[in-house]
Structure 1
Amino acid sequence: MLFHYHLWTPNVEATEQFYEKLGFTVTQRIGKTDGAFTAFDPPLTWDDFRDDGIRFRIIEMKRGAINVTFGHGKVVRFDHLGFLVTPEQRTLLLERAQQMGWTIQANERRTFIQTPYACRIELQTHHDAILSDDQPLKRIQLSTKQVGFEQELQRLFGRAIDKVTTVPGNHTVLQQVIFMGEDIEAVDPNGVSVRQIQLPVVADKHL
């Protein structure tokens, strides 16, 4: 299940505020201060540390079946997208990634596959990465300089991944995300088009 994406951005606080307005909850903030990484998780707010010069490595926000993370960067840059998989699926995917010649970075919590498309794929087996199965991430659209990402995803997963689409571009950029929820169209502080859609209500024929 596609559940996640990660950005680097100079607009950290504004990005948090944007997603908070969409109903996301901050579950983690890790930032560097005095040469060491420290947690600034809620109930702390930006008023508690805004002027402390913290460089945030990661801020994690969750809503339903969606997990969004971002950290401080000099420019906006898309880093990776993530799939929630079973341990058995993870083993199979890593075998295929090795056959494809893709680099694997793994630890107890997360596994990353480095692709030739200037982005990574995260494989997550821990279900606590999401809050629930509600309001899933419906689609991600990327622009990529090198064509063929969708075909390579199909080769990796053994099936078409229709929730990930690409268009030609000069760089790998996250262009659009589509969620389930109240109908909204907006652009986040990093230029990502965010669209929420509601499923149409089907009338009960027996009424």
Structure 2
Amino acid sequence: MPYLLGLTGGIGSGKSTAAAAFARLGVPVVDADALSRAVTAAGGRAIEAVRAHFGDAFITPEGAMDRSAMRELVFSDPEKRRELERVLAPHLEAEISEGIRAALDAARERALPYALFDCPLLAERPAWRKACAKVLVVDLAEEEQIARVMCRSHLPESAVRAILAAQASRAERLVIADYVLYNGGTPEALERAVQTLHTNFLSACG
């Protein structure tokens, strides 16, 4: 039976780049961010719960959650952020559970020993972490994270630091890691590191 490898990392760490590298190697990937967007997209399983709790002002004319309006609300009010998390949690957990089952089935069909769960909140969500046999952390020094996000997203430093403050700390992520990929180099170096890990995972189960 294939196992689930959790992948996590802070904003700007290169976690998504690493996940894409695993996908190119044929590893089935469960993308928690994509599933989170899906449950709040038009027709998503959480839309009616969002409407009931926050009102029509937070639903777009197309029937999706208004992410800009919601972002403005929750970043200015921590209690509203917790309310949103509580509203979304059961719907997102159901979506993720289905995604994990499908990914593990795909890994078995491809004769692979593992599937990947790409989740930025593994350090914050013990229940999701418990589903993972092992955890891989993509690591980067905080100042480098800030510089990369400012360059990529054109956000001011204060905004990036606010995002970092809302996430688990670097130390909190590293303490849950079974494997660490330090991403202080080039994208090509990260790709090679992922390929090496993948080869090692295959050999360990060969």
Q: Is the structural similarity TM-score above 0.5?
A: no
Question: Larger RCO: Structure 1 or Structure 2 (Cα < 8 Å, ≥ 6 residues apart)?
Answer: 2
Structure with the higher fraction of residues in strand conformation? 1
Normalised TM-score (structure 1) = 0.29
Normalised TM-score (structure 2) = 0.29
Structure with the higher fraction of residues in helix conformation? 2
